Homo-oligomer: A and B are copies of this chain.
Amino acid sequence: MAQQDAQNGGSENAAAAATVSFVAVKPQLLVEAPKANDAILFFKAAFGAEEVGRTLNPKRKAEHELPLILSAELKIAGSTILVADLVDDTSSPAKTGGNGVVLCLETEDVDGAVAKAVSAGAVAEGEVAEGEVACCGGRVGKVKDPYGFVWLFCTPGKKCADVEA
């Protein structure tokens, strides 16, 4: 997959972030908890999706029999989609307001990507955070663009794994 330099931006004060590059774009579908597993079964039945990885949420709720899904990675037609249980009380950057699909942009420079998006007109949501969050962990930042779409920036390479939390 080709890396592209994010250099054709028109913003003025993004010089420091001009070299931000992205390695992948992955739609993440946020499913009302605890239905993500059911949704994955549906995506397999309806679209022939193949699950290639799953990370469970370490915060298991007592009332849920099964651990919630932090992020599952599915392949459809060579493309990746991510599926996650949306937990209302989470502080995860994946938490979103109403829109069930966010777009994950993988980059080695999460902070630079947030800065560049903000300089182009997006609004940062929360702080860049480390740890077990959406997009399979690593460093994650979140912005909402001027048109209402939510974008996650996350470090690539840390693959989803079948980790029991």
Using CB atoms and an 8 Å cutoff, list the residues of chain A in contact with chain B. Answer: 1-11, 14, 20-27, 29, 31-32, 35, 38-39, 41-42, 44-48, 50, 75-79, 81, 98-103, 105-106, 116-117, 120-122, 145-149, 151
Contacts and interface: CB of A to CB of B under 8 A. Distances in A.
A48 B4 CA distance: 7
Contacts of A38: 146-147
Given A1-B78, A22-B48, A46-B117, 16 more contacts: A2-B77, A4-B50, A4-B75, A4-B76, A6-B48, A8-B50, A22-B77, A24-B79, A29-B147, A32-B147, A38-B147, A42-B121, A45-B120, A46-B116, A76-B105, A81-B103
Q: Majority SS of interface residues in chain A?
A: mixed
Nearest to A3: B77
Contacts of A78: 1-4, 24
Contact of A9 (B48, B116, B146): B48
B77 A10 contact: no
Contact of A31 (B2, B39, B147): B147
Contact of A39 (B46, B102, B147): B147
A50 B151 CA distance: 17
B41 A149 contact: no
Contacts of A44: 8-10
13 contacts: A4-B75, A4-B76, A6-B46, A8-B48, A8-B50, A9-B44, A9-B45, A10-B44, A21-B48, A25-B79, A32-B147, A47-B151, A99-B99
